[in-house]
Structure 1
Amino acid sequence: MGIIESPGVVNSATAEQFSSGHQLDLSTLQMLVDGHWYDALAVLLERSLPAVGASPQLLRVRALATAARRVLDLDAEDFSSIARDFSAPWIPRLAACSFPQQPRDPQRGALGSLVPLYQLMLEVLELRALRRESLQIVVTAHLISEYLVQLAWESTLGHGGDPEQLETFVAGSRWGTDDRLCPHSPAQRSTAKRLLSACKGDLAGYTAYLDRFHSRQGEALAVCAMNHATIGPGERPDVGVTCPNPCGFITELPMPDRRDLDARVRLALLFSESPIVALRHHAPVGHFFGVPSAQEIAAAWAMTWDKVSLPWPDGDNPLQSVDHMSVGA
């Protein structure tokens, strides 16, 4: 498929080497690969291969299956280390999905652009659906909502919410200040302030920003994007706090760009509060009930699509003319 491709070629020679002294054959290995059960294949090989003496081919299959399992978990902190362990066409794409491990790393990864990470998340979502993993579908949909506002801002900013670059963009504005004309909540002000210094200090401060504040950056940016100087009352759906006193970094943008940005941000917020994401709040934590069925997920997706594609009073919903079957159901 894309980054999560078949972990090596399971050929007859590999199968023969593996089946010697084991109870598995080519068909078993191939079935796991064809079904995209890379995590199961990794566990199987980890338990079955000898500590020494295994063939290089089987060791490579095991390593690739283990890497695919880690990618399926969508732990972006692991992506850089995975990329260093292999040489393959998909390695640059995987590295582009990771967040830089140092505050001033010249390779900005997902801070530079969220597009590769979102492409990967959609790929993972498709695999989870093919594997009929209801709970993981819901978890992945929730993760997709986490940075959707930053993705909506990316074509305006030229990056995916990189604190190092965003600091220059908001310089001289009310961003991160205590100015009462700014409608940011206390939590949003705190996030805005931390952003301004996130890449200036040490590794501990930068890591703390990524862990605790970066996912909230979108909330602050959303308020800035939805302002009274761009969209009038009642023109578009009410999805949250709007700014009555937009700063220069907004008002200096051309009006068509501001309206497009507003539309993208509203769609991001509509998805974040949608039925498919709300299923995550009902997911089981510490008990045995609440795993959504395939039918519940399909119904939630249908309601989500109805919500995000509903016509707006000003007629400018970008999804109004899109067929939901073309984006998957």
Structure 2
Amino acid sequence: MSPAPVIDVRGLTKKYGDRLVVDHFDISVPRGAIYGFLGPNGSGKTTTIRMLCGLLLPDAGEGTCLGFDLRSQAGEIKKHVGYMTQKFSLYEDLSIRENLDFVAQMYGIKNRRQRVSQALAELGLADRAGQLAGALSGGWKQRLALAACLIHDPQLLLLDEPTAGVDPKARRDFWDEIRRLSKAGVTVLVSTHYMDEAVQCDFITYIAYGRKLIDGPAAGIAEQVGLTTWRAEGPDLASLETTLAGQPGVLQIARFGSTLHVSGTDGVALESTVRRLEASGPQRWSLQPAGLEEAFIYLMTGAQDNFASDAA
């Protein structure tokens, strides 16, 4: 028998005034999985994460997190979850060690000093233990924030856009650590805007303006959407992009560096358009599997902004 999901919620709903920020959201997260949470700014990702970890009471919906009831056992959820916010929220006038020691005291951790030293070593912070948090770069602040999340050995990590504003090397190091934690049995739900991070997730949920658009194993998302994608490379891509607009089968045109990706849900009509342009133009065309980025753009095209002006 499969183990119970770490997160299992249904109909999660939250309003701010007359705005529906999270609209009947469902999610089931398997134990030990890295679950990607994708969506544009203002989509309700942060609000949803805060409801999942017991910081915010939903207006409607039900379910469990780590086996605890979302409504009646929020205090228990908080004890067993590590939550990393978008904004660095530790004390900038305390050192790295002092910050971790303070968090350890908050959780009532036994052998506190030993656990803090262990956390410093695990996240590569030991040599900087005396440095003030406010003097750290974005990447080192990120490591400190993650160390603080892990100090009480949580079973679940909720990471809200944890790599925003850090350099590529820091992002890579961060994801190495996430994979290590996942292999050790820690479940991770992480929101991100980066497609190169999304492909590292086991499962993905797309949320747009409060509503879940699609979810499932990361490798099968594009197939669920049903997109066919052709890639064009060569000269005059700007002119080709203009020509493609409105052609049969063409629903989406996206520039990826020196190539143009052309996608649609009617594969036959799209191929007919491609073959016609291929015969008359200088570009080279090739059929390729649709990726997460094409799927994301396609899904967002039809999403309605719940905070847009009614007059717009």
Structure 2 length normalisation: TM-score?
0.28
Q: Using CA pairs below 8 Å that are at least 6 residues apart, which structure has the higher relative contact order? A: 2
Structure 1 length normalisation: TM-score?
0.27
- Choose between structure 1 and 2: higher helix proportion: 1
- Choose between structure 1 and 2: higher strand proportion: 2
